Structure 1
Amino acid sequence: MAGKVRDIMTGSPVTVSPQDDIITVAKKMRDEDIGAVLVTDGGDLRGLVTDRDLVVRGLVQGGDLTKVDVGGVCSEATASVSPDDSLESAAKLMREHAVRRLPVVEDGRPVGIVSLGDLAIEKDEQSAVADISAAKPNV
């Protein structure tokens, strides 16, 4: 059984620039079949944007969506973990900050993402969250 974040995280995270427009980011998420990307500026983590953020904070603005920068709709990275942090530490941070995903940062640079689903699969594989997270995506 895994004990460290590095054992279950998704490595090589997809990143975007704060200046990227939300249409470009949405297409990248579609093409990569992912629901969240890290927002970086010069390699430094600035935030995280989810498919929900794109809709709730971006799409509703209307107008020319190619002029809506992802930096204005992303969530600030209020918490992150190290690859060597324990899974318990990651779960505690998710609970404290009420988030479903945590950026994984090493030497100041993002190296992965760990999700609530990743933790559920590892810690309680019989749970409904683990079942849903392990299921093949609908296409």
Structure 2
Amino acid sequence: MRISEILRRKGSDVVTVAPGATVRTLLAALAVRNIGAVVVSPDGNAISGIVSERDVVRWLHIRGADLLDTPVSEIMTSDVRTCTLDDRIDGLRRTMTEHRVRHLPVVYEGRLVGIVSIGDVVKSAISELTTERQHLVEYLQGQY
């Protein structure tokens, strides 16, 4: 299965915040949308970075409550791993595991077109296994 199939199923909506937005604004976006990460983008197309709940927790531990009025550009991960619509899910699983990331922005022709989470990857794996199981059961039942 390819990343394009996941986006077809879940949609391509991506929540972004501007690099100058405060951590307080970021937290509001995470809470309202019930998501775990936000892409940092000046225009909704280019990727400047990504910030996750874990990033906020780590920086909050270091800097305390003053962090809330800090621009997200100061805490974002700027070396963002991405994937493309043509990438395969099995490669994505490897990337997420090896680099310990839970969210990968999807790019097409240099533009942000979606985001895939570890939850999306797990859901696709379960779907594939369920389909495989169903085919095997049908095959075995047809043999008798």
**2:71: which partner in 1?**
69
| Range 81-90 or range 60-69, more displaced | 60-69
**1:113: which partner in 2?**
115
Aligned length: 125
- Between Structure 1 and Structure 2, the one with more strand by share is 1
**2:99: which partner in 1?**
97
Task: Using the TM superposition, give the Cα deviation of residue 98 of structure 1 relative to its aligned residue in structure 2, in angstroms.
Answer: 2.1
| Identity %, equivalent residues | 32
Task: Using the TM superposition, give the Cα deviation of residue 60 of structure 1 relative to its aligned residue in structure 2, in angstroms.
Answer: 4.2
| Range 89-98 or range 107-116, more displaced | 89-98
Counterparts of 2:100 and 2:38 in 1: how far apart (Å)? 18
Unaligned runs of 5+ in 2: 130-144
Question: Residues 27-76 of structure 1, C-alpha deviation per residue, up to 9 Å, x if partnerless?
Answer: 11111121111011343112111122122114641354453111111122
Residue from 1, 6, 9 that aligns with 1:8: 6
SS in 2 for 1:122: helix
- Give the direction of change, closer, same or farther, for the CA distance of 1:101–1:14 in structure 2 (3 Å limit): same
Unaligned runs of 5+ in 1: 128-139
Counterparts of 1:79 and 1:31 in 2: how far apart (Å)? 25
| Range 5-14 or range 28-37, more displaced | 5-14
Cα root mean square deviation, aligned: 2.2
**2:30: which partner in 1?**
29
Structure number with bigger Rg:
2
Task: Using the TM superposition, give the Cα deviation of residue 6 of structure 1 relative to its aligned residue in structure 2, in angstroms.
Answer: 1.8
| Range 54-63 or range 111-120, more displaced | 54-63
Counterparts of 1:62 and 1:5 in 2: how far apart (Å)? 38
TM (norm. structure 1) is 0.77
Counterparts of 1:80 and 1:108 in 2: how far apart (Å)? 11
